[in-house]
Amino acid sequence: MSQVSIYHNPRCSKSRQTLQLLREQGIEPIIIEYLTSPPTSAQLSEILQLLDKNPRDLMRQKEAEYQDNGLDNPSLSQEQLIAAMVAHPILIERPIVLANGKAAIGRPPEKVLEIL
């Protein structure tokens, strides 16, 4: 198996549960605390491609930063939405697990088992 990475927020229960699930599978992933080490625009673009999602599908739309930055504006480009997630990583849905050239959002945590 290739190296497994998790974009993790230790304050998020789903993120903690997903990390625990990986460890129960005997996997010690690379842990990326994305709030302090946010992904680059290129990394986010790759993650979106792996997930087959558009940027808004990966955004936490109830966060204040979403409304405060007018990110509900339908005229915003994919690049602008990705740039907003890089600038405000709290907007990124969590956790995201990367493994075997695939990606999964751990909501529910068991979803990540599909890519292992």
Whole-number Å distance between alpha carbons of 105 and 44:
13
The sign of the dihedral angle between the CA atoms of 44, 112, 89, 85 is: positive
| Residues 66, 60 contacting (CB under 8 angstroms) | yes
Sequence-ordered list of residues with C-beta below 8 angstroms from that of 78, at least 6 positions apart, any chain = 54, 55
**Catalytic residue from among 1, 3, 10, 12:** 12
Whole-number Å distance between alpha carbons of 91 and 84:
8
Question: Catalytic site residue 12?
Answer: yes
Active site residues: 12
